[in-house]
């Protein structure tokens, strides 16, 4: 079995280890929740202060020009592009993932209405992230489509002549299971459907190749693995061949071809720029760039390929140590073992019992010890509660994994998770 000394040796040999210094992490904390909210880059506070005190406070409205505020959505999009396999000027950073999903789903359904009006089904996984399903449900009701939800293994059988759009999250937020983007996209196209991908749990965590996979549309958030800060604006990508076929439904002035001409009629901007909507939130938008600096530093150390290799090594180690040292406590594994099917997280299951699974309390006990993960309730397909741990290779090391599992073992062996203080539910789990 891997020892603490083995983990320390792996850290000493890790070429990505210097990247940890780019993040401000609290002392005595092992942060395994970067798949929910990434850690703060060391330059973020100074950048926010500069935007507020200098660009806004001193230069005022001139900063739209002098500080480059106006072009920031496009410039940030071009910095994200290499992480998602996009080309130049195909990605913008704007709005939220939910709003961006509404835009691209509407565009995709409009394309379907034009090309194959008889197709009236929007297909997704039942275990997809809820906001995606909520947006799709509302849009289907307003446009007269049917939202069909299936289990992952049923997707292939549902690709038929009724399908207009397939909407999937690349890496499942609950289990960490990852789709083969190229294969799924090819199968959907063969059935005559378009595909919308949500990259919220894969951008910055696993290599993504939207152009290589021949994807149609993609959205994703910047506050998870991209470390853009809480509530950071999201990103949106459109296949170049689709970009100018339709207006997106939120045709605000920022997506106008000439926003400062102030004409009464709407003329969409060229390409992906028409997917902008209103005036951008410049403080939070500016912080996205701080998170991207770490990926640009990683490029000299092997880029996403090196980050992926370390991510798989970290998650392999975590799984092996949990199974060796936490036996007899009813834990299972929801995350696929196969590398090709796994994102950058590990989800442990806990059987539901009449008094509850205890999974939530176990996570709270770990947090009290400085090991930060999170809890997700069982869904209709899994029927088990989940202890979820995200592994961000930019700042997580192998010794962190060893200590995290040791804390988990102690929490389970001692039964301290049964204490009342760990069983009080918070608003955010």
Rounded to whole angstroms, the Cα distance separating 30 from 126 reads 32
Catalytic (active site) residue 224: yes
Q: Which one of 388, 389, 400, 422 is the catalytic residue? A: 388
342 in catalytic set: no
| Edge-first strand listing for the sheet containing 331-333 | 331-333, 345-351, 384-390, 374-376
Spatial distance between the Cα atoms of 232 and 93, rounded to a whole number of angstroms? 9
115 tagged catalytic:
no
Distance CA 185, CA 305 (A): 22
Chain center to CA of 215: 17
Q: Where would I find the H helices in 222-281?
A: none
Pairing mode of beta strands 163-169, 146-150: unpaired
Q: How far apart are CA 256 and CA 79, in angstroms?
A: 23
Cα gap 80→112, rounded to integer Å: 28
| Structure-derived torsion over alpha carbons of residues 421, 386, 368, 418, reported in degrees to the nearest 10 | 40
Q: Which of 23, 102, 129, 275 is catalytic?
A: 129
Sign of CA dihedral 21, 23, 24, 29: negative
Beta bridge partner(s), residue 24: 40
Q: How far is CA 407 from the centre of its chain?
A: 27
Count Cα neighbours of 362 within 13 Å in the Cβ-side half-sphere: 29
Annotated catalytic residue within 95, 132, 198, 400: 198
- Burial readout 18-32 (b: 16 or more C-beta within 10 A, e: otherwise): ebbebbeeeeeebbb
- For residues 267 and 57, is the Cβ–Cβ distance under 8 A? no
Catalytic option among 47, 224, 310, 369? 224
State the Cα–Cα distance between residues 317 and 2, nearest whole angstrom: 8
388 included as an active-site residue: yes
User: Distance between alpha carbon 261 and the CA centroid of its chain, in Å?
Assistant: 37
Annotation says 395 is catalytic = no
Encoding tokens for residue 278?
């209103």
Catalytic residues: 129, 198, 223-224, 388
């Amino acid at each position: 079995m891997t020892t603490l000394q083995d983990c320390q040796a792996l850290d000493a040999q890790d070429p990505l280890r210097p990247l940890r210094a780019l993040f401000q992490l609290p002392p005595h904390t092992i942060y395994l929740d970067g798949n929910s909210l990434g850690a703060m880059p060391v330059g973020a506070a100074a950048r926010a202060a500069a935007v507020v005190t200098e660009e806004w406070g001193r230069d005022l409205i001139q900063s739209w020009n002098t500080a480059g505020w106006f072009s920031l959505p496009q410039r940030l999009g071009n910095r994200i592009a290499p992480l998602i396999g996009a080309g130049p000027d195909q990605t913008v950073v704007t709005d939220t993932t939910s709003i961006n999903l509404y835009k691209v789903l509407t565009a995709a359904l409009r394309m379907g209405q034009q090309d194959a009006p008889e197709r009236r089904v929007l297909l997704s996984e039942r275990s997809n992230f809820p906001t995606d399903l909520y947006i799709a449900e509302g849009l289907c009701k307003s446009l007269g489509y049917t939202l069909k939800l299936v289990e992952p293994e049923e997707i292939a059988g549902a690709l038929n002549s009724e399908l207009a759009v397939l909407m999937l999250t690349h890496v499942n937020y609950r289990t960490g299971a990852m789709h083969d983007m190229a294969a799924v996209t090819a199968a959907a196209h063969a059935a005559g459907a378009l595909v919308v991908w949500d990259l919220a749990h894969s951008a910055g965590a696993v290599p993504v190749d939207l152009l290589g996979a021949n994807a149609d549309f993609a959205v994703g958030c910047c506050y998870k693995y991209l470390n853009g800060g809480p509530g950071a604006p999201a990103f949106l990508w459109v296949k170049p061949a689709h970009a100018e076929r339709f207006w997106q439904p939120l045709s605000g002035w920022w997506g106008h071809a000439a926003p400062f001409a102030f004409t009464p009629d709407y003329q969409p901007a060229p390409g992906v720029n028409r997917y902008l909507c209103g005036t951008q939130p410049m403080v939070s938008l500016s912080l996205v760039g701080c998170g991207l600096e770490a990926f640009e530093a990683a490029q000299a150390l092997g880029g996403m390929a090196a980050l992926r290799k370390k991510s798989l090594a970290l998650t392999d180690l975590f799984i092996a140590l949990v199974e060796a040292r936490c036996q007899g406590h009813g834990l299972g594994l929801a995350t696929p073992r196969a590398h090709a099917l796994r994102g950058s997280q590990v989800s442990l299951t806990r059987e539901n019992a009449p008094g509850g699974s205890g999974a939530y309390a176990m996570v709270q006990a770990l947090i009290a010890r400085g090991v930060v993960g999170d809890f997700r309730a069982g869904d209709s397909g899994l029927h088990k509660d989940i202890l979820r741990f995200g592994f961000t290779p930019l700042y997580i090391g192998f010794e962190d994994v060893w200590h995290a599992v040791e804390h988990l073992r102690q929490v389970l062996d001692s039964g301290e998770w049964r204490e009342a203080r760990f069983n009080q539910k918070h608003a955010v789990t």
